[in-house]
Structure 1
Amino acid sequence: MNDSFLFTNNPSPIWIYDRDNLKFLNVNEAAICKYGYSKLQFLQMQVINIYPAEYISIFLEILAKNQNNLAFDYQCRHHCQDGKFIDVEIVTHTIKYQGKNAHLVYIQDITKCKEIEQNLQANEAIFRAIAEAIPIPLMISRSSDGSILHANQEFLTAFRCAPGDVVNCPVTDIYHEIAESQTLIEELEQKGSLQNYEILLKRGDGTSFWAIASLQYLTFNGEVAILAILSDITERKNTETRLKEKNEFLQSIFAQIPLMINLIDTAGKLLWVNQEWERILGWQIQDFQTRDLLSALYPNPQEHQYVIDFIQSAKRIWGDFRTQVRDGQIIDTSWTNINLPNGQILGIGQDITNRKQTEQALKTQLEREKLMRTVVQRIQQSLNLQDILNTTVQEVRHLLQVERVVVYQFAPDMSGKVVAESVEPGWIKSLGIQIEDTCFQNGAGVNYYQGRKRAIANIYTAGLTDCHIQLLEQFEVKANLVVPILLEVGGDNIGSRLWGLLVAHQCSKPREWEENQLDLLDQLSVPIAIAIQQSSIFQQAQTELAERQKAEMQLRSALAEKEILLKEVHHRVKNNLQIVSSLLQLQSQTLKEPEVIRVFRESQNRIDSISLIHKNLYTAPNIGQLDVVEYILSLATSILISYQIGPERIALEGV
């Protein structure tokens, strides 16, 4: 990323061309501005197209001579799009670019320097006038002892000193480091001339500044001298320093920030990634030199296309993705993209696996609570056990996303049957099937009596007995969850009784279960047990009520029969007493003796009294008790009527 940034923003022209066909591969903005060609025009040209015809053979000869060198420099002439020619100093480096053998070329315009050199060589007499006229710091020093012989006004201005402060002073005074001046002279002696040599210089007031120095031997006043032409590049150096510091600062941020960052070019090629990107995804940038980045991270074709569409949209929104890291693990990530002015895309991402797991845990918890409320509400609203069990298995199957959920009830001999089932269409139904499980009958289910719950990810690797595997194979089971349904036993035998099992079946493939899924079934077994006991109590109450209603009906029937019998007895007694009374009445009418008549009438009155007592007993609410007051009142009234006695004839006799 740093190299690309420095290439693009370097103030000097830079380009890259193919060593084999000499075609331009890339140019920076400074080259476009300097030469007047657009970037597209450059990329359609060969590098020889900017050389004048007389320089092409020289250029090719230089390439041939330096074909094995990693770096070399030379001077030549170029022509711009507007037809102007410029003299340039070229520094060339051999590199690999986009898989090709290429040259990275750094160009420095030395047209003005060349003009100065030519003028000096042509006419030494007008040198001083030219030196003073050109707006470039210029200095001439004696080659033998390094004394300054001449400095133009631009030089004096640049170094903030007067002419008398410079002439005849040692040239080493203008260097920030004396050793640097010695190095410069040694290179000049070796090469004969130096171009665009960057060096740190010192002004008269002690401050420093950066300059580019071009040095050339010449004859001045009849002696060998060194011409130094300087160009203040302090501003450029400061800019480069700021850019470097900024890049280092950004690199530090990118290295420390807990976000994944990558840079993708317009062709979709990965250019750069930060450390967090490599740490989370496990890949390194060199891994994608020969392979497609997105195909590795998103191997599923649909997801792959979705990611491409998301990147190309470059909307400043976050999108969540399931990303495959290098070891094959799938993690949850969230990404956003920023379109850069040069067409490149900056991707920013973060690992949200923990957040997704937390969200899923909360969602699962809410679903579990909803399921528990549904089951409890069903228990509260209905005493129908079958309805409660059907609701439970249906809700559990949808929540766990399994093919089958059943409630299995044990018989006393440890056989049993499926009493409730929710099964996905296409799988074997087990509802109502009587199961003879020899494993349970032989004691294999004893652990369930103790409340053991079990999660089996693969029935073939869980160490199950053959008979157990065969039983599960009948119903196409590959993995399952099993929890016991235990009923509390009261009375003398306090403890639990194994009523049955709540079972979830994964039939399509083995499955790694989560602990909370087994806990869910375990928690549901409690309200199911309560519902079973509640239903049992309700059925027992219904049975007792039915028996009581039957006994009441029998009692009512017996009472009705007794009432009929009593009515019949009363009727017959009443009739018989009436007949006897009538017979006595008739008989008394045939008699003449008063005494006999009196006896007959007393007998008749006694029979009437007996009839009255019988009537009172019959009509009384309680046959075991008699209201004497009411009886005497009725008897007295009857006597008065029978004997036709007035109240004035009645008197109370003492006992």
Structure 2
Amino acid sequence: ADGQLHDIAISDIGWDQCRMAGLRGHTGAPGSFVLRGLYGWVIESGTSVFTNAPSTHPQSAGVPPGHPPLGSFLGVPLIHEGRPIGILAVGNRAEGYGPEEQEDLEALAPAVVEALLRKRTERALRESEARFRFIATNVPDTLFFQDLDLRYVWIYNPADPFAPGDVVGKTDAELFPQEQAEQLTEIKRRVVETGAGTKAELQLSPAGVPRWYEATYEPSRDASGRIVGLVSYSRDITERKRAEIELRNERQLLQTIYDTIPVMLTIYDPNLQQITVNKHFTRVTGWIQEDTLKHSIMESAYPDPGYRREVADYMQSLQPGFRDIRMATKDGRTVDTSWANVRMPDGRQVGIGIDITQRKQAEEALERYTERLRFLHGLDEAILTARSAEGVARAAVDGIRRLLPCVRASVVVRDPDTQQLSLLAAYSRTNSGDLSKGWRALADIAGETALESLIGGRGNRTNDLLAISRPSSLVAELQAEGVRAQIYEPILIDGVFAGALNLGIDVPGPLSNEQQEVLHDLAVQLAIGLEQARLYEAVQRHADELELLVQERTAALEASEARFRTVFEEAAIGIALANAQGQLVATNPALRKMLGYSEHELAGSGLFDRQVGGDGDSNRLLQELLSGQRSTFAV
């Protein structure tokens, strides 16, 4: 194998006579050895040579220093598979060598070749077995051989808790649970019967604890190629299998989350050329994964080039936080979304999007509701400051157009005494003149059936005037003005029908829930305002009546006072007016003349201060007069 000539065996005589300094044989430095002389000729030519005068032979190259003298030589090549592999040589025979000795040595050469090859094979086998044992005993994997009966002949590193002695001589049925043993037997039997090796991953329980093994099974053949059993190499891959199972479970979990999470997810390269979308993205936009392969999803979702460039710049910038983005759906709608973008370790980017359409709708509804409350508050103020039903109705009609765009709006009330309907206020988008013209009684507008519904406290809706097959003149008039739907909302005061709020709108169909709430709230406000206006008018009428009555009573009192003053001044008898304390307040001329005092002298004096004789104590007399016990007294 090294290209040099090695001495396999030398006779004892040769060793005794050899005086060479080095006894390595016919070897030299690697790459420098060249066979020469008689040895070289025999091996190179593959032919036998004998000579009884070696030094004079044409192929002779002499002998190295210390080599025994060579008087005769016979060399026979050792041939294997048609090529020389060595030389069988003898020398220094006293009688020399001839053809007969050559034939004898050539006859011996095949036996030497066979013996040499057998030794080489045995040595190679020993070396191979040594290497095998070294490997088998120093690796953690299990190696074993089973015969055709599938009994273990030898085994290295059996699985815990087995030792080699526990396994050798037994079959799998004696070592493993029945189901596992049958699985092993089926695999191994197929190998020895078909001669085809196989690999398998198996879950076995050698110690009652399930573990995973990766095994390779190959048929074992003898020198003739006949299958004599099988050899196997198996490795415990439990930890790897657990890791694979955990990884698979994690991937399944991530995939499940990816497919079911109510969040839009996109995975894309930084150039936005390859984009993967999840199922929620499809649920929101309608675009499926196949659409991204047929055309640019960026162009589909963002048809405006300028806006698409703006969105692409944001996606590639990886700015922190979310940004609101409007997207076009597959069915032509527009949805409001909000997106954030992050980078993955492999360089790809992930877009995280949420559908904020409902949030936007809620925000818009909140804005509308705020505006509605602001309007209703303003309407409240207008209604509260209005001093008549007409003023309340005008405030409602003027304001409703801000919340419910309409072609026509009117307020009709019913007189509680006559039950007649009258128009309080009206608006028409197409008529800026006298709005009372052309408006008929509610019975004509809504029809008797509608009026009955309103009197019963229920609204009435005509969702599409164009659907009326035989329109009346009023319906035709409404249609001409662009009214497509007519709505009547009852105005109820204390649960009793008091009128109606009427709307004509230019789109067919019923009102939305929000619009219906606005209309109902406005009708309630109208009811409050109209009732307040009626109360105000009633209070005002009562105040006017009271003021008139006071004026009449004042005039009568003044006339009565004038008559009394005339009698008081012209009476022939004395008359005096005193207060509750008995002090004189006024006296007439007859009394002043009778007593001989002036009006100034009598003013403020006591009623009985100038009494002489009479009915007794003045205080007692005063109390009796005030209490009604006495009506006269004498002085």
Query: Taking structure 1 as the reference length, what is the TM-score of the superposition?
Result: 0.49
Question: 2:238 aligns to what?
Answer: 234
Tell me, in whole angstroms, the C-alpha distance in 1 between the residues paired with 2:423 and 2:205. 101
User: Aligned match of 1:622 in 565, 571, 579?
Assistant: 565
Alignment of 1:577-592 (within 5 A): none
**Partner-residue secondary structure (3-state), 1:520:** helix
**Cα pair distance change 1:497/1:506, threshold 3 Å:** closer
**Cα pair distance change 1:245/1:202, threshold 3 Å:** same
* Structure 1: gaps spanning 5 or more residues: 1-119, 489-494, 563-616, 639-655
Is residue 314–residue 339 contact of structure 1 (8 Å, CA) maintained in 2? no
**Cα pair distance change 1:361/1:128, threshold 3 Å:** same
RMSD: 5.9
**Cα pair distance change 1:283/1:379, threshold 3 Å:** closer
- TM superposition shift of 1:225: 4.6
Question: 1:185 aligns to what?
Answer: 188
Is residue 453–residue 522 contact of structure 1 (8 Å, CA) maintained in 2? no
- Per-residue CA deviations over 1:173-222 (Å, capped at 9, x if unaligned) read 6666222223323443577443543233554x555532222233445699
- TM superposition shift of 1:547: 7.8
Question: 2:98 aligns to what?
Answer: none
Question: 2:465 aligns to what?
Answer: 459
**Partner-residue secondary structure (3-state), 2:565:** coil
**Cα pair distance change 1:331/1:282, threshold 3 Å:** closer
**Partner-residue secondary structure (3-state), 1:435:** coil
User: Aligned match of 2:488 in 482, 492, 503?
Assistant: 482
Question: 2:213 aligns to what?
Answer: 211
- Per-residue CA deviations over 1:16-52 (Å, capped at 9, x if unaligned) read xxxxxxxxxxxxxxxxxxxxxxxxxxxxxxxxxxxxx
Alignment of 1:104-503 (within 5 A): 123-134=124-135, 135-136=138-139, 137=141, 139-151=143-155, 155-156=156-157, 158-159=159-160, 161-170=162-171, 177-189=180-192, 192-194=195-197, 196-201=199-204, 203=206, 205=207, 207-219=209-221, 224-246=228-250, 260=262, 263-266=265-268, 269-270=275-276, 272-273=278-279, 341=345, 343=348, 345=350, 374-383=378-387, 385=389, 387-402=391-406, 405-408=409-412, 419-421=425-427, 428-429=431-432, 432-437=435-440, 440=443, 444=448, 446-447=451-452, 448=454, 451-461=457-467, 465-485=471-491, 501-503=500-502
Question: 1:17 aligns to what?
Answer: none
Higher helix share: 1
Alignment of 1:499-514 (within 5 A): 501-507=500-506, 510-514=509-513
Letter of the 2:528 counterpart: P
Tell me, in whole angstroms, the C-alpha distance in 2 between the residues paired with 1:325 and 1:121. 79
- Per-residue CA deviations over 1:227-268 (Å, capped at 9, x if unaligned) read 32223222111112333445566678889x8x5256533167
Question: 1:29 aligns to what?
Answer: none
Question: 1:631 aligns to what?
Answer: 589
Answer with 312-321 or 500-509: which moved more.
Answer: 312-321
Question: 2:85 aligns to what?
Answer: none
**Cα pair distance change 1:502/1:539, threshold 3 Å:** farther
**Cα pair distance change 1:392/1:307, threshold 3 Å:** farther
Alignment of 1:540-579 (within 5 A): 540=541
**How many matched pairs?**
438
- TM superposition shift of 1:523: 1.7
Tell me, in whole angstroms, the C-alpha distance in 1 between the residues paired with 2:517 and 2:251. 49
- TM superposition shift of 1:320: 10
Tell me, in whole angstroms, the C-alpha distance in 2 between the residues paired with 1:212 and 1:497. 89
Letter of the 1:388 counterpart: V
Tell me, in whole angstroms, the C-alpha distance in 2 between the residues paired with 1:283 and 1:190. 57
Is residue 484–residue 501 contact of structure 1 (8 Å, CA) maintained in 2? yes
Is residue 262–residue 272 contact of structure 1 (8 Å, CA) maintained in 2? yes
**Cα pair distance change 1:350/1:186, threshold 3 Å:** farther
Question: 2:517 aligns to what?
Answer: 516
**Partner-residue secondary structure (3-state), 2:465:** coil
Tell me, in whole angstroms, the C-alpha distance in 1 between the residues paired with 2:371 and 2:401. 12
**Partner-residue secondary structure (3-state), 1:392:** helix
Is residue 175–residue 181 contact of structure 1 (8 Å, CA) maintained in 2? no
- Per-residue CA deviations over 1:248-297 (Å, capped at 9, x if unaligned) read 66678889x8x5256533167555448xx99x869796886878898999
What percentage of residue pairs aligned between the two structures are identical? 18
Alignment of 1:47-58 (within 5 A): none
**Partner-residue secondary structure (3-state), 1:265:** strand
* Structure 2: gaps spanning 5 or more residues: 1-120, 575-586, 597-635
Tell me, in whole angstroms, the C-alpha distance in 2 between the residues paired with 1:121 and 1:331. 83
**Cα pair distance change 1:450/1:404, threshold 3 Å:** same
Tell me, in whole angstroms, the C-alpha distance in 2 between the residues paired with 1:187 and 1:264. 49
Letter of the 2:239 counterpart: E
Question: 2:534 aligns to what?
Answer: 533
Tell me, in whole angstroms, the C-alpha distance in 2 between the residues paired with 1:450 and 1:209. 81
Letter of the 1:460 counterpart: L
Is residue 383–residue 535 contact of structure 1 (8 Å, CA) maintained in 2? yes
**Cα pair distance change 1:539/1:358, threshold 3 Å:** same
Tell me, in whole angstroms, the C-alpha distance in 2 between the residues paired with 1:159 and 1:496. 94
Letter of the 2:243 counterpart: T
Is residue 264–residue 352 contact of structure 2 (8 Å, CA) maintained in 1? yes
